[in-house]
Amino acid sequence: MGLLATLRGMSNKGRWKLASWTIIGTAGCVGVAIVINVMFFRAYGEEVLIRALLSAVVIPIILAGPLFFYLTLKLRELVIANYKLADAAAIDFLTKCLNRGAFSKRVEDWLTHRGDESASPSGALLVIDADHFKKINDRFGHHEGDVALKAIADAIQSVVRKDDLVGRLGGEEFGVFLPGATERAAASVAERIRHAVSDVAFVPRSKECRLSVSVGCAAFDRKTGFSELFRVADERLYEAKNAGRNCVVFGALGEAPQPIALMH
């Protein structure tokens, strides 16, 4: 039943690959058997050789065909299982965002790849932190805190683009990477995230509790690495916290110190 279910779930391309490997593997066994039988039986006359060649064709088809079919199918199941395990290992169980390790690696991979591909890659990193989150845990308990984290993650994911990366960096802190985004677009996304979180209906134990986030944004238009980008975005986040929270502090990578630009 498992094999039938696997076959039904395969695409036409997958079935074609399965058939191809089965045919190639079986043909290889037939070829080897023919060569060996010719070497051993050609001295015994034409009739014996013909029978030997016939067995060299029939027996591998009977035995090797189903074996290669089964092994190829099982190998495909193993590849799919490994892919699912790798995907699950990259996802934060609670929020369904990328975990910190997977997020930082994918951002670093993008920065490295695009940095080699283009003289001036661009984009932005947002570091987002839930405001006064400890008070939520202390007042309503960690279960409700988890509900709030899920709601914040959903709000963030609802406003980003398809190719943007969203990760949980730890605790109540999230990261959003916006590949190719201009400074204006990144600032707009950051503000939409802030509004989306503020609009979340969070009512733990039938008591309304407003959620808000502070956002630090670092835009870039040159080759950089994740550690540098994160450091700058985290500094912007720290400034947003000091500015009263529930706001966005935005700045470009490597810009000279200037008055903080706040968005409310």
Work out the average pLDDT over 173-181.
96
| Residue 172 annotated to the active site | yes
CA distances from 204 to 137, 151, 196, 246 (A): 11, 12, 18, 20
Among residues 172, 173, 183, 208, the one annotated as catalytic is 172
Cα 229–chain centre separation: 20
Q: How far apart are CA 159 and CA 263, in angstroms?
A: 17
Residue 244 neighbours by CB under 8 Å, 6+ apart: none
Q: How far apart are CA 256 and CA 137, in angstroms?
A: 39
pLDDT of residue 85: 66
> Of 249, 104, 124, which is closest to residue 167 (Cα–Cα)?
104
CA distances from 80 to 101, 105, 114 (A): 22, 22, 29
pLDDT of residue 119: 57
Name the average pLDDT for the chain.
Answer: 86
The amino acid that residue 160 corresponds to is: V
Where are the chain's structural domains?
Answer: 2-89, 100-263
Is residue 258 helix, strand or coil?
coil
Least confident of 21-30, 183-192, 253-262: 253-262
pLDDT of residue 90: 81
Q: Encode pLDDT of 89-146 as tens digits.
A: 789 999 999 999 999 999 999 998 875 555 568 899 999 999 999 999 999 999 999 9
Judge whether 167 and 180 are in contact, CB under 8 Å: no
Confidence of residue 9 (pLDDT cuts 50, 70, 90): low
Work out the average pLDDT over 184-188.
91
Work out the average pLDDT over 31-38.
89
> Of 119, 138, 145, which is closest to residue 211 (Cα–Cα)?
145
Residue 215 in this model has a pLDDT that exceeds 90:
yes
Of the CATH numbers 3.30.70.270, 3.20.20.10, 3.40.50.300, 1.10.10.920, which one belongs to the domain with range 100-263? 3.30.70.270
pLDDT of residue 157: 96
Q: Encode pLDDT of 40-53 as tens digits.
A: 888 888 888 888 88
Q: How far apart are CA 66 and CA 181, in angstroms?
A: 53
> Of 131, 135, 150, 154, which is closest to residue 207 (Cα–Cα)?
135
